[in-house]
Structure 1
Amino acid sequence: MIHLPNLIADLALILGAAAITTLIFKKLKQPLVLGYLIAGILVGPYFDLFPTVREEENIKVWSEIGVIFLLFSLGLEFSFKKLMKVGGSASITAFVEVVVMLALGYGTGQLLGWNTMDSIFLGGVLSISSTTIIIRAFDELGVKGQKFAGLVFGILVVEDLIAIVLLVLLSTLAVSQQFAGTEMLISVVKLVFFLILWFIGGIFFIPTLLKKTKSLMSEETLLVTSLGLCLLMVVLATQVGFSAALGAFIMGSILAETTQAEKIEHLIKSVKDLFGAIFFVSVGMLIDPKMLQMYLGPVILITVITLVGKTLSTTIGAVLSGQPLKSSVQAGMSLAQIGEFSFIIATLGLTLKVTSDFLYPIAVAVSAVTTFTTPYMIKVAEPFYNWLDKRLPEKWKASLSRYSSGAQTISEASDWQIVLKAYITNTVICTVIIVAIGLLSSLYLLPKMNELMDPLWGRIITGIITFLVMMPFLWALAVRQVQTTAFSNLRKQNKYKGPLWLLRIARIGLAVFMIGFMLDRFFSFAIALSVTFVMVVVLVLLSRRIQVFYNRLEDRFFKNFNAREAAEAAAKAAKPDAAVLAPWDAHLASFQVRPEWDGVGKTLEELILREKYGVNIAMIERGERLIPIPPKTERLYPGDRLQVIGTDEQITSFRNYIDMHLPEIKHTRTEVELRRFDVRTGSAVFGKSIRQSGIRELARSMVVGIERGDQRILNPISDTVLEDGDVVWVVGNPKRTAALFRVKGEAPPQTQTA
């Protein structure tokens, strides 16, 4: 009989159980994460009805790999630029929410009589919402295009970054077993140092590597290369004392800035789904039902605190950041759950053996309950706001409206603020790079040189190599001018001449100190002091050449950093009719006709969807056949996919009717587009009604809106006459429609795609 390793048998059991439970949960329209958790309980050591995993340690290794790929995938969606674009509102809201939930979690733990570490980790578990669950709920409810959803996604991005910092701080706290302010500060400084270093180094080298090898990169080699880079950063992060999850996240966020980001994300999805499933099943395996029964009271209490606390803290934070009350309430009720990061934080406490056994299953139970409640919280957010709006005093509502308007006013930064910010950024980046070069030289290069030659000559050669590598960054730190326009404006004003000279002297002094600091690691203090003077002179004499070299380095960095945006801009330039916002928040959504739907077999004229729900059927996909702008006599059949255009409210109303919303499908070729056309005297449609214009019959298109001065007419009747100066929004074939709006002897009419 052939012996089968336990690992393979365990994987077969885990994936088989996961497949069955997820199929059931898919049928029930519930989050797959809950199916994985239940699968873990069924094959775990605390449930005897089914076969049990034999070697839990091996599964823990696979689950660690699952965490790595989950965080790598999250980093690919993260992008440092995305964080910069979320703005102050999302940052303030996320900060308020995390601080409040940390305090509530710690206070709840103390109230329940838990020890300090359990209480602190409970605060960490409750502070981070679930990106996976929210995105899934938004997809199912069709609210991704609404205003508050943008705020929620921004908050999630900031929360993910805060979660990474929390992992580092909680790890430090777990090791020291006490709240030591100095150690925490050192950990934060160390984290910032390595984040800056890894990001700059990654952006400088990795996009160039992918660009140079693009012709050799098949899907297979790109996948292997991406995973190799991910695991390499994981090893590097663990070597310097950080978690593997942090390393995976950093490499994902670096690759997110490359032109290959979307392709890598697509290739990595299957790997992430596989190991992510193993991770969530392993989470379920650690749940002891008896423990949950014993701690049912704390589970209920913590669930209520999560729902109420996260709703209130997020709402208050959003209001403080200047968001309208409606968006704030909707965002608060959307974020009232915990998820995958909470599992990771709870797992960290369990792995480091600093938390009690009951914390982990309690966290998973709370996550399961709040996962169920999330869709309902999102649904009732708007009715709850309407109820609240009716009961708030008018003075409060007026004050909130004024505060929201004032907080969102854009203020122009002064020249002094611009210069100061630029100098601080330049100083921090150059200092980090110089310190990193010095540390690498003293810790790795110097020992190798001492092995190859006399120690004195080893120190001399190492010092020279280190100085040569540092020279561009020492020059940038001491001499380079940043924000030259703002700097010139300040220099013309007498009151700023003193501060500007102080800035210059401080930068030069810091550069001299960095040279001395580097040399002191190789030579005695007296030698280092004298050689420092010589190196400063060399730096001044070679300033122009160093400037040229540094500018080349900087140009390459920014070229790599902006490569993705440049590629997108080039694509838009090649296709100027790229999609932009539709009028009045109208947009396309995709629906599929189910066999049991009562509209099957009826014509569009019989269904009167436009009159009932305000939506228009822009196209019907029937197998390989596309029916753009279907006539009113067209019947709907099972399996048809409808491309429907309407506003958020209209789409929601239609979804409730058809009761089957599928994710939006992106096509490489779009045969139906939403565009605006200007009506001009002399065109074929001027002075004619919509019925007489031939837009439907000749252009296979449909008029969905008209702007006439300050008046907006949505879904105009077919007898509406098109007048000079009207702006007509049309869904259909853009080329045929443009011909009807063109005036003979003139250039093609101006159009705008939506």
Structure 2
Amino acid sequence: MGGAFVAAAVLARLGNRIGLPTIPLFILAGILLGPNTPGFVLLHDPDDLEMLSALGLVLLLFYLGLEFHMDDLKAGGRKMALAGSLYLALNVGAGLAFGFVLGWGTSEALVLAGVLGISSSAIVTKTLVDLKRINNPETKPILGIIVVEDIFLALYLAALQPVLAGADSMGSALVQIGKAFGFLLVLALAARFGTRLIGRLFAIKDNELLVISFLGAAVLVAGVAEEFGVADAIGAFMVGLMLGNTASGDRIRELVHPLRDAFGAIFFFAFGLSIDPGDLPVVLVPVLAAVALTVLMNVLAGLCAAKIYSFGPQPTANVATTLLARGEFALILATMAATAGLDDRLSPFIAGYVLILAVVAPLVAGRSHWLARVLPGPAPKDPPAQEQAPASEPARTH
């Protein structure tokens, strides 16, 4: 763990000198010090960091929830649902079609629909923080799309698991979907009607006790969510959504920053440990085709969001590029596919696809003004000063 922190810090500081974002550098540190590249191996088994990595994802999404206010959800719920549904329709639909075109099999196509269709919540969150775009007008729709994706993810996984396991009926799938939907409904009701009670429970003056309380709540609800077939990330997000609207919300945002940054780095480092660059040449052509298709679908999704929210070219480009990354969910699907005995080319394909987008997406997001210049609408102004700063500079919230 100490080696992971030091390696991530050293590479990030080097990258800071040339203006590179931290995410691909943390991933690169994991790749270079992992078991899949020559030279010194810090960790032979990526599972050694599994719990710390999971905690990093939970904290990233918990912070995302803290920044997402209930008033925004009430005021723009329909628009967010529409934007998220269109994003999923474009990307999941394109992924399913791409899977069938590859001809690897029906189950493989269903897996690829999720791989190409779902953004990385962790990378999207970190990108928004690094680029200091949390308060930008297009950030609320981006977060709304992430929420819709996570809800879809819970139902998708519940339906996919029995299919990969070769279940004879849809009974098992329907039970899992019912459990996931029921738990999401409970969380939504708690967020809608329980804010006052939750605020009283977390009206804690001592910072030490407050940290223990919100960290315990986020991790516990994330774990319970996973037991009900819901992504742990959405559980943590909902806890953040509830706490962000309490009187202690501002203090919690300040206190969670160092935890979020530290364990977020471990998440991306562990992400790099699991990737084998040597597998990429075997499936390079379909990987590049999938990356090109994902870029196209994200631009179209950004244009749809622009139509819904009346955005200009720059916010449209920010939406399209920020949501481009694929990550933790795709790797979960790769594990499920390997366990189910699907096509051997699927795992290296997913690894290569995720690696390219995880590295490229933060770089592209920081230069979204290039895309804005060719989008329809009035010519965008130069990017604000805070977006021109090196992406690896830590965000500061006052």
**Quick check: TM above 0.5?**
yes
Contact 1:93 1:155 in 2 (8 A): yes
Which of 101, 115, 120 is the aligned partner of 1:111? 101
2:268 pairs, out of 260, 280, 285, with 280
Counterpart position of 2:230: 242
Deviation at 1:262, TM superposition (A): 1.9
Tell me the CA shift for residue 90 of structure 1.
4.2
Q: For residues 202 and 331 of structure 1, what CA distance do their matches in structure 2 show?
A: 29
Please tell me whether residue 174 in structure 1 is matched to residue 165 in structure 2.
Answer: no
Aligned partner of 1:336 among 303, 309, 321: 321
Partner residue in 1 for 2:148: 162
Which residue matches 1:16?
6
Q: Give the percent of matched residue pairs that are identical in Structure 1 and Structure 2.
A: 21
Q: Which has the higher contact order (CA 8 A, sep 6+)?
A: 2
- How is 1:67-466 mapped onto 2 (pairs within 5 angstroms)? 67-86=57-76, 88-129=78-119, 131-132=124-125, 134-135=127-128, 138-139=131-132, 149-150=136-137, 152-177=138-163, 187-201=176-190, 207-208=196-197, 210-211=199-200, 214=203, 217-316=205-304, 318-319=306-307, 321=308, 323=310, 326-327=312-313, 330-332=315-317, 334-336=319-321, 338=323, 342-352=326-336, 353-354=339-340, 356-358=346-348, 359-376=350-367, 378-385=368-375
Q: What does 1:547-586 align with in structure 2 at a 5 Å threshold?
A: none
**For 1:265 and 1:137, how far apart are their aligned partners in 2?**
16
Alpha-carbon offset, residue 266 of structure 1: 1.6
Query: TM-score w.r.t. structure 1 length?
Result: 0.46
Q: How far, CA to CA, are the matches of 1:204 and 1:323 in structure 2?
A: 31
Q: Distance in 2 between matches of 1:161 and 1:362?
A: 23
- 3-state DSSP class of the match of 1:277? helix
Question: Which structure has more helix as a fraction of its residues?
Answer: 2
Structure ranking higher in strand proportion: 1
Measure the CA separation in 2 of the matches of 1:655 and 1:241. 39
**Which stretches in structure 1 are left out of the alignment for 5+ residues?**
1-10, 391-647, 668-754
SS in 1 for 2:20: coil
Rounded Cα–Cα distance in structure 2 between residues aligned with 1:121 and 1:12: 35
Equivalent pair of 2:288/2:353 in contact (CA under 8 Å) = no
Q: How does 1:621-660 map to 2 (within 5 A)?
A: 649=381
CA distance in 2 between counterparts of 1:660 and 1:38 reads 18
1:26 paired to 2:16? yes
Spell out, residue by residue over 1:158-189, the C-alpha distance to the aligned partner (whole angstroms, 9 max, x if none).
Answer: 21112212321232133211697776665555
Checking the alignment, whether the CA contact within 8 Å between 2:83 and 2:141 is kept in structure 1 is: yes
Report the Cα offset of residue 271 of structure 1: 1.3
| Cα pair 1:311 1:333 within 8 Å, conserved | no
Q: CA deviation at 1:333?
A: 6.0
Change (3 A) 1:49 1:88: same
Give the drift of 1:294.
2.2
Question: Is the alpha carbon distance of 1:101 and 1:47 closer, same or farther for their aligned partners in structure 2, counting shifts above 3 Å?
Answer: same
Amino acid at match of 1:34: P
Q: Count residues with an aligned counterpart.
A: 384
Q: 1:116 to 1:217 in 2, by over 3 A?
A: farther
AA aligned to 1:276 is G
**2:34–2:44 CA contact under 8 A, matched in 1:** no
Deviation of the 1:133 alpha carbon: 5.8
Q: Deviations over 1:395-416 (max 9, x none)?
A: xxxxxxxxxxxxxxxxxxxxxx
- Report the 3-state secondary structure (helix = DSSP H, G, I; strand = E; otherwise coil) of the residue aligned with 1:78: coil
Alpha-carbon contact 1:89-1:318 (below 8 Å) kept: no
Larger radius of gyration: 1
Structure 2: which 5+ runs fail to align?
Answer: none
1: CA distance between counterparts of 2:49 and 2:3?
11
Alpha carbons 1:102, 1:123 under 8 Å: kept: yes
Q: 1:51 to 1:196 in 2, by over 3 A?
A: closer
- Who is 1:65 aligned against? 55
Q: Is the 8 A contact 2:294 2:324 kept in 1?
A: no
Q: Distance in 1 between matches of 2:357 and 2:386?
A: 30
Moved more, 49-58 or 176-185: 176-185
Alpha-carbon distance, 1:99 to partner: 0.6
Asked whether the 8 Å contact 1:306–1:337 carries over to 2, the reply is: no
Note closer, same or farther for the CA distance 1:128–1:134 as it changes in structure 2 (3 Å cut). Answer: farther
- Letter paired with 2:310: Q
Residue type matched to 2:53 in 1? Answer: S
Task: Work out whether residues 126 and 338 of structure 1, in 8 Å CA contact, stay in contact via their aligned partners in 2.
Answer: no
* Alignment deviations for residues 694-716 of structure 1 (CA, whole Å, 9 cap, x no partner): xxxxxxxxxxxxxxxxxxxxxxx
* SS across alignment from 2:347: coil
Distance 1:92 1:239, change over 3 A: closer
**Whole-Å Cα distance in 2 between the matches of residues 278 and 230 of structure 1?**
18
- Structure 2: how far apart are the matches of 1:170 and 1:75? 22
CA contact (8 A) 1:93 1:318 kept: no
The structural deviation recorded for 1:40 is 0.5
Tell me if the contact between 1:41 and 1:285 (Cα under 8 Å) persists in the aligned partners: yes
* Letter of the 1:280 counterpart: F
* Structure 1 position 261, deviation (Å): 1.5
Structure 1 position 52, deviation (Å): 2.9
CA contact (8 A) 1:89 1:323 kept: no
User: What amino acid is aligned across from residue 333 of structure 2 in structure 1?
Assistant: G
Pick closer, same or farther for the CA change 1:118–1:18 going to 2, 3 Å: farther
